[in-house]
Structure 1
Amino acid sequence: MMASSSSAQETGRWSLAGATALVTGGSKGIGRAIVEELASFGATVHTCARNEATLNSCLEEWSAKKLSITASVCDVSARADREALAGRVAAMFDGKLDILVNNVGFLFLKPAV
């Protein structure tokens, strides 16, 4: 499925048609906004997150908007998951990755002493 490029053309924005992108942590917040913006410019985007249910919900919404986005479950803190993600993306994009957005972050709250 291809991204809707009409909105980019109507507003005079540039095009990312043919570009590939990987955005980690793309199911919420800033990561999700980046995924949607890249796809709206015409890029083919793959994203990952730890929560499969959240990813599936996002994929349904993106599909309804006709955005070219795929997703997979990945915990980037686990080496095996990162390696699997790299292999999956390399295979999906025939080894061509134009854009990488490493959006994953962790917040550790500890009491101040």
Structure 2
Amino acid sequence: MELAFRENLKKMRGTKSKEKFSQELEMSRSNYSRIESGKSDPTIKTLEQIAKLTNSTLVVDLIPNEPTEPESEQVTLDLEMEEEIISTLRNPQNTAISSHFQPLLIHPCYQSHQLDVA
């Protein structure tokens, strides 16, 4: 369990001893101590009992480690950006840009766009 949970659990227990609190949860002191120390993870049922005993609300949530975007949307955005870049490079007013990026534009991945870079 995360440190924040364990610290919260200790605060929620308040001045009650581990012995008294574990009795109210109908579990052994050693099992409760393992949960509070992070050596054991509580079951959902135990978390519900703790929430009830401490007059708290139990919230279980899944939080992704990294923001995710549906792959199809990302591909669409990538293609739109690529088309915008290609359009900018095709613009005759951007000849300095076109000549600067010409080595990139002749890369095989851009051949499908049939760019005029001459």
Verify same fold: TM over 0.5.
no
Between structure 1 and structure 2, the one with the greater Rg is 2
Which one has the bigger helix percentage? 2
Pick the TM interval, shorter chain.
Answer: under 0.3
RCO comparison, higher one (Cα < 8 Å, 6+): 1
TM-score computed with the length of structure 1 as normaliser: 0.26
How does the TM-score come out when normalised to structure 2?
0.26
Bigger strand fraction: 1
